[in-house]
Chain A
Amino acid sequence: MSQARAEIEPQIELRPGARKRTERPRGLEWALVAVAILYPVALMAGPLLAIVWGALSSGFGAMARQLTSPEAVNALKLTLLLSFAATALNTVFGLVVALVLTRDNFRGRRALNGLIDLPFAFSPVIAGFTLILLFGRNGWFVNLIDALNLRVVFALPGMLVATTFISLPFVARAVAPVLRHVGQEQENVAYTMGAGYWRTFWSVTLPNIRWGLLYGVSLTFARAVGEFGAVLVVGGGVTRFTETATLYIYRSLDDRNEVGAYAMVLALAVISLCLLWVMEYARKHAQDE
């Protein structure tokens, strides 16, 4: 559905023959531009600068020391580990789902379409809660888990499932419109020239959708890195073991370790900015094709 559409669909291109549509603002129109720019600046620049200032206020050395402490390093490692794993899972299965949505035609397809967007409707806390209901001590799968001697909730597997769930729809939603847009001509041609399905997918389909795919992947990763509510509920916050970067920030504020918290915030902000750059790069290229 469409929350995803707003977030991730590459914009539709111009109809052929449309005239150039931008112009320089004149007179009063500058006021419009000014308002449009000042609003986000007022909204966002202030807080962003405040973080930079807060992190560096005790000096670069203190910040570096906080970021290299074992708790911080483990928290970052855990966040990246969870994000990579969740992104990998969601990429593969998201591609499959997108393929089924666009290339296949069966009765329950509309329902499938709706189902994919459901994680957007979940508040992260609720998502974590359902995992406890499923895998906790009184959950549905408690016998299975005991039999396998696994620990799911308040341990890493649970956090992985939570992160994967939260970032589920992005790849499917980014790739499906591109797949639809690209159409099946090229694939059919490849088929009639003798390529197998796998070969076609690898050499024809994938290159066609690569920018949409990159966009979806970067969105997934960004969402996974920023996850807080679900891992707070499911993780248990055990320092150095089930504490992600976001949980580390939350705890550091409690510990009166403001420098540590802001340093980690800065680290996450840098990661986010890199991801933003990748997102925009992919979106622009997807648009151009």
Chain B
Amino acid sequence: MLKQGETKDRQRDRWTERRRDREITFSSHRSFHAASKWLCRSVALSLCRSVPPIFLSLSFLAGCGGASDSNGEATLTLGAYTPPREAYSKAIIPEFQKHWKAKTGQEVEFQESYQGSGAQSRAITSGFEADIAALSLESDVTRIAEAGLIRHDWQANQYRGIVSTSLVVIAVRPGNPLGIRDWADLTRPGLKVLTPDPKTSGGAQWNIAAIYGAALRGYAGVPKGDPRAARGFLERVLLNVSIMDKGARESITNFEKGVGDVAVTYENEVLVGRQAGQKYDYVIPRSTILIENPVALVGAYVDKHGVRRVAEGFIDFLWTRDAQRVFARYGLRPVEAATAQEVAAQFQPAGDVWKIDFLGGWKRVSQDVFGANGVYTKSFEELHTAP
């Protein structure tokens, strides 16, 4: 390159001199100055190329960081399980945003994540900074509490932290061509049963608990109060399980696609599916478990993001009549007494409905049924790995 004021001749001379130097000594002139100059250039170049993207992602981050309550905007992160996806994103969240704006003038933006309850719980304890955890079962929230992220007693109110309930039901093809009436019918040879995987799905755990509990209560055609018989019954049902999806939603959508003969699922999943135009019927077994879905404030992250006020406002909102009515609209049975009365006609009556307390509460069930030597775990293993 021609230097300033330099002629072509001078440049040629300069180059000749340089070349002569190098031809004489082939070894490099190890100039530390040149080395560092080159290194700086290459680093700078790579940074330049990746800085815009990194900038963008950092700004995403800043946006995700959750502006604090004090200015006119806040961001709440919701970590939920899959079935109430429509309920939250289409109705409850927009209504809350309106309600909160009217009440405090503050705009709230929501970031929502929906996956299997167990998976979501794991994600939160691994670093997913959800401000609010709306999960399928109590033990998934307990796990977050035990990780030190929930420091208050989240079950302290009159509803014990439960925002909605549902039942475990059996979804069947239109018209119930196979004549499924109760749990015992699930053990028919050759019947293809769908249920999600309890490792990742809260719904699956409710399903298994329901089957096991109903058997123990004598509604499955096996002697009442006999754990061995109940376990045998569970095994016979598991024998017919052909696919185990990651979550309750995946399970029911597969059923809709024509897979399987029956699906064990939440009542609200079936109702939402029917709202979406899917055609199937469902049967409420004579004895089934009451699914109770908890919601909790994840204190550690809420304080980190500085959104405690909004988050508490959101959680309180979930028990108002408006929100409970939304739950009912999406197939979930409300817990608030007056609303429950109001919508009673929407839901089919059920026979023997019992809570997880019958099996000793989720703490016991996590161990005795789903633990490493639990009833379910062992049955499943034996079933699928016996020679």
The interface of chain A, by Cβ under 8 A from chain B, is 81-82, 84-85, 88-89, 91-93, 96, 132, 135-139, 150-157, 160, 191-194, 197-198, 236-241, 251, 253-256
Within 8 Å by CB of A132, from B22, B60, B89, B127, lies: B127
B357 to chain A, nearest CB (A): 32
On B, residues with C-beta under 8 Å from A are 15, 18-19, 22-23, 38, 41-42, 45-46, 49-50, 53-54, 56-57, 60-61, 64-65, 77, 82, 85, 89, 111-115, 123, 125-129, 147, 247, 249-250, 253, 256, 273, 276, 278
Chain B residues, CB < 8 A from A150: 61
- Determine the distance from Cα of A82 to Cα of B56 in the docked complex, in whole angstroms: 10
A193 lies within 8 A of B15 (CB): yes
Contacts of A135 in B (CB 8 A): 127
Contacts of A132 in B (CB 8 A): 126-127
Cβ–Cβ < 8 Å partners of B253 in chain A: 253-254, 256
Contact A88 B50 (CB under 8 A): yes
Residues of A within 8 A of B126 (CB): 132, 136-138, 153-154
Inter-chain contact B19/A236, CB cutoff 8 Å = no
The residue on A at minimum CB distance from B120 is A236
B281 to chain A, nearest CB (A): 18
**Given contact pairs A137-B147, A194-B22, a sample of 6 additional A-B residue pairs in the complex whose CB atoms are under 8 Å apart:** A88-B50, A93-B46, A156-B61, A160-B57, A239-B111, A241-B111
In Å, the complex CA distance between A150 and B129 comes to 12
A156 to B276, CA, bound (A): 33
Residues of A with C-beta under 8 A to B23: 192
Residues of A within 8 A of B85 (CB): 255
CB-CB under 8 A from A251, the residues of chain B are 114
CB-CB under 8 A from B19, the residues of chain A are 192-194
Whether A154 pairs with B129 at a CB distance below 8 angstroms is yes
Given A92-B46, A192-B19, A238-B113, check contact A154 B127 (CB 8 Å).
yes
| Separation of A88 and B52 alpha carbons in the complex (Å) | 11
CB distance from B83 to the nearest CB of A (A): 11
Assuming A85-B53, A136-B127, is B64 touching A192 (CB within 8 A)?
no
Q: Is the CB of B22 within 8 A of A239?
A: no
Q: Decide: A153 near B127, CB < 8 A? Known: A192-B22, A192-B23.
A: yes
**A-B pairs with the 9 shortest C-beta distances?**
A85-B53, A92-B46, A156-B57, A154-B128, A88-B49, A136-B126, A194-B18, A137-B127, A194-B15
What's the least CB distance linking A229 to chain B, in Å? 13
Report Cα–Cα, A236/B89, bound state, in Å: 17
- Knowing A89-B46, A192-B22, A192-B23 touch, does A236 contact B53 (C-beta < 8 A)? no
Please name all residues of chain B whose beta carbon is closer than 8 Å to the beta carbon of A152 when the two chains form the complex.
Answer: 127
Would A256 and B276 be within 8 Å (CB), given that A85-B53, A137-B127, A241-B64 are in contact? Answer: yes
Complex A-B: 26 CB contacts under 8 Å: A85-B57, A89-B46, A92-B42, A92-B46, A137-B125, A137-B126, A137-B127, A151-B64, A151-B65, A153-B126, A154-B123, A154-B129, A155-B60, A160-B53, A192-B23, A193-B15, A198-B41, A239-B89, A239-B111, A241-B64, A253-B253, A254-B247, A254-B249, A254-B253, A256-B256, A256-B278
**Nearest-Cβ distance from residue A239 to partner chain B, whole angstroms:** 6
Q: Which residues of chain B have C-beta atoms less than 8 A from A157's C-beta?
A: 57, 61
What residues on B are CB-neighbors of A93 within 8 Å?
Answer: 46
Distance A138 CA – B111 CA, assembled complex (angstroms): 24
Q: Given A92-B45, A191-B22, is A156 in contact with B127 using a C-beta cutoff of 8 Å?
A: no
In the assembled complex, which residues on chain A have CB atoms less than 8 Å from the CB atom of B57? Answer: 81, 85, 156-157, 160
The answer to whether B49 touches A236, judged by C-beta atoms less than 8 angstroms apart, is no
Do B54 and A85 touch across chains, with their CB atoms under 8 A apart? yes
Residue of A nearest to B19 (CB): A194
| Bound Cα distance A253, B23 (Å) | 68
Instruction: Point out the residues of chain A lying under 8 angstroms from B89, CB to CB.
Output: 239
CA distance A85 to B38 in the complex (A): 23
Residue of B nearest to A237 (CB): B113
Chain B residues with CB below 8 A from A96, complex form: 42
Q: What is the minimal beta-carbon distance from B155 to any residue of chain A, in angstroms?
A: 24
Question: Which residue of A has the minimal Cβ distance to B17?
Answer: A194
| B115 nearest in chain A by CB position | A237
Which listed residue (A151, A156, A256) contacts B129, Cβ 8 A? A151
| Bound-state Cα–Cα, A136 to B265, Å | 33
Are B112 and A156 in contact (CB-based, < 8 A)?
no
Are A85's CB and B127's CB within 8 A?
no
Chain A: which residue is nearest B54 at the CB level? A85
Alpha-carbon distance A81/B56, docked complex (angstroms): 9
Chain A residues whose CB sits within 8 angstroms of the CB of B82 once the complex forms: 254
Q: How far is the CA of A82 from the CA of B57 in the complex (A)?
A: 9
Q: Are B61 and A236 in contact (CB-based, < 8 A)?
A: no
- Shortest Cβ distance from B202 into chain A, in angstroms? 15
Contact A238 to B77, CB < 8 A, known contacts A192-B19, A256-B276: yes
Chain A residue nearest in CB terms to B46: A92
- Taken together as a complex, chains A and B put the C-alpha atoms of A289 and B250 apart, in Å, by 51
| Smallest CB gap from B56: residue in A | A81
* Shortest distance between the CB of B58 and any CB in chain A (Å): 8
Q: Is the Cβ of B123 less than 8 Å from the Cβ of A236?
A: yes
Residues of A within 8 A of B45 (CB): 92
Q: Which residues of B contact A198 (CB under 8 A)?
A: 38, 41
A254 to B248: give the CA distance in the assembly, Å.
10
CA distance A65 to B249 in the complex (A): 24
Q: Name the distance in Å between A85's Cβ and chain B's nearest Cβ.
A: 3
Q: How far is the CA of A255 from the CA of B272 in the complex (A)?
A: 11
- Could you tell me the distance between the alpha carbons of A150 and B77 in the complex, rounded to whole angstroms? 16
A residues in contact with B60, CB < 8 Å: 155-156, 241
**A92 and B45 alpha carbons, distance in the complex (Å):** 8
